Structure formats: C-alpha cells, structure tokens
Chain A
Amino acid sequence: MTMSDRTTQPGDDLPIRPRGRDVPVPPAAPLADREVPLRSDGASAELHAWLDGEGAAPRQADGHLTPEAELWSRIATETKVRREVRTPPHVAAQIMAALPTARPAKAEPVVERPLAAPAPTETSGLHLSYVAAAVAGATLVAAGVLLGRLLG
C-alpha cells in the first residue's frame, strides 16, 4: 500500500471525533517481518552500509545523492528532531506521587541463600556411622547366604 492509496481510503472524510485522549490506531494487519523483501543489489547494499555508518553516501554520476539517499537524508533530519524529545516534567512528579508507600522487597540472591539443612529427626537414640552401617549390611548378607545354604 502506498501513501497515495492511504489518502483515498474510505472513512478519511468522516467528521472529526471529539478527542479525549489521542490514541492512534495502527493498521489491523501490519506488514509481517518476512513479508518485506530484502533487495540484494549493489545499490541497496551501499545504501544500507551508509545508513549503518559503514560507507559513503550513494551518489549519482553527477555527484548528487541518489533519490533513495536523498529520502533517507530527509528522514534522518526528522529522526534527529525526535531524538531530542524530552519527557514532560510532570511525568516524573506523577511517577513519584504514585509510588506505593511500601518499601520494595529485597530479593534474596540465590547464591547467598543458605542451603536448607534437613531437620534432625528425634525418632530414636540410635546413631549409625557409615562404617557401622557397612558392617551391619555385610553381616546381614552373610547371614542370609548361610541361612540359604542350611535350608537348601
């Protein structure tokens, strides 16, 4: 769709609605990323390189900027103005006035969080070391083998 097409869309001549808050409405179906074809010719590459700050501006044989470069020069003038826009001062005041009274919670850093030790169980007074457990296990296995031979 071109800009000239846009200016003739039905609805453009509708009466002006009262403006409470200016809310622009984007088109219902914007151009999807992959719907935009990328030109791969040398002129296009030169133009993008220049716009990325990696080369000289593309020029015609007579030394003048190409029409595309001229367009982007004009767009750059516009974007430069937009870069200087400042936040209206009342916004900062509104933000500070709207802050919750509660102090923001401190998040406990994961690396400094103490590891949670399992709570000691007090189910019995028996304390078993690894060695004692190994000996007990081996004894039970041996007793099982012996009992098996006796019964077999």
Chain B
Amino acid sequence: MGTLTLPETAPTRTLWGEAGTDYRPRVQITPQAVPADVAEQADADARTIARVLAGDSEAFAILVTRYSDPVYRHALNMTGSADVAEDIVQQSFIKAYEHLGEVRGRFDAWVFRIVANGCKDWLKNIRRTHTSYEEDDQPSHLATPDEDLDRSELRVDLDRALAQLSDSLREAFIMKHVEGRSYEEMAEMLGSTVGALKMRVHRAREALQAILEEKYA
C-alpha cells in the first residue's frame, strides 16, 4: 500500500537537479509493486486500479509514483518548460483518476496518451497566441552554472532546434532518443506503425542535423 507524504521543503526548481537534492519520490511502495516484467506490471496495475475503484483512493499514489517520471520527461521535452510539464502531468493524472473505470489495456500507455495529447493541445494554443520566437522565452532553469560549458551550450541549442520541429517529429524524436523507447513500443503507445514512426524519427534527425551541423559538425 502506498503512503504519500509531502516533502518538508519545496525543492529548488531546476531541470537537472542540484547536488544533494533528493528527487526520489516520497511515496513508499512495496518492492513487489514494481515488477520488471511488463505483463506482471500490467497485472499489478490492474490490481491497483481495482483497489482505487473499490474506494481506496490512496492506492492511486502507486500509479502516480510508477508512471510520473516517464510522462513528466515527455511533457518537459515537448514543452521545454518545467512549470508547464508539471501542470500537464498533474491535470493528466487527475483526468486519469476520474476516468479510471474506462481503462482498457495498459494503464501506462493510456496515461501516456493523455499526457501526449495535453502537450499537443498546449503547443497548439501557444502557437496560436504567439507569433515570434524570442530568446527570452527559453526557460531559465535550463542553466546550471557548474555544468560543462560545451554541454550546456549544446543543451540550449538542442532545445531551440527541437522547438523548430513539428509536434509529430518532435514527439517521435523525444520518444526514441530521449525516452529510449523501441519503435515497437512507440507504435503501441501512439497507435501507429513501426514504419511510419521510423520515417518520422529519420526526418526529425535530418532536420535537427541540418540545424545543428553548421555549428557542431
């Protein structure tokens, strides 16, 4: 059973964390609650969902702990903003809770789709309301002074380059190269085909390379 406790102090808001900052979730779960095998994990999710539907709302913390990291990473890389990513993840999990009885198949794929759609909606809205890309719009928390200067520069340039891709190309590149998913897993989560996703990732690489190679290659 998961017990959720609030952190004693609010953490410093940085993307990459600070030395000594413990970002491990404060939710205590039993070791067997996170099985390695996907099928076992799906079964464990189904049991957790049954508990929540039976009235044990605190059990939902197990699902939040188990899946918040991958969906947060996705939202962070899609939007480029930790604040926006937090909002999207929070709203998505609340929506998932409200519709938990409608889960069919894998919970992680289902909640991922909610988050992915939230990111696309946000990008659509932000593009509709802004017409220019400004230097100042880069998130300030990306800068961490004690990091290697070269990597820091590439990090900012990569963010800018990713921002120039279409949503679908960016999503495919992030899932493949940032989240480290296989094409098969991506196809399952996005409801697409391996061939189509390979094409999207290849196009994303070509676009990123064209943007970055003048400076780095």
A residues at B contact (CB < 8 Å): 1-4, 6, 9, 11-12, 14, 16-17, 19, 21-28, 30-33, 36-39, 44, 48, 51-52, 67-68, 70-72, 74-79, 81-83, 85-96, 98-100, 103-107
Q: Report the Cα distance A83→B73, complex, angstroms.
A: 7
Give the A-binding residues of B (Cβ under 8 A): 4-7, 10-11, 13, 15-17, 22-27, 52-53, 55, 57-58, 60-61, 64-65, 68-69, 72-73, 76-77, 79-84, 86, 89-90, 93-94, 97-102, 123, 126-127, 130-141, 151, 154-155, 157-161, 163-169, 177-180, 183, 198-209, 211-217
Smallest beta-carbon distance B60→chain A, Å: 7
Q: Is the CB of B24 within 8 A of A89?
A: yes
A-B contact count (CB 8 A): 236
CB <8 Å contact, A38 and B11: no
Task: From known contacts A31-B165, A87-B68, infer whether A38 and B202 are also in contact, taking CB-CB under 8 Å.
Answer: yes
Q: Is the CB of B140 within 8 A of A19?
A: yes
Contacts of B201 in A (CB 8 A): 52
Can you offer 20 A-B residue contacts whose CB atoms are under 8 A?
A3-B211, A3-B215, A22-B141, A24-B80, A30-B163, A33-B168, A36-B204, A44-B206, A51-B177, A52-B183, A78-B158, A81-B151, A82-B77, A86-B17, A86-B25, A87-B89, A88-B82, A95-B90, A104-B99, A106-B53
- Choose one: B25, B101, B157, B208; the contact of A87 (CB below 8 Å): B25
Tell me whether A25 and B130 are in contact (CB under 8 A). yes
Q: Are A107 and B102 in contact (CB under 8 A)?
A: yes
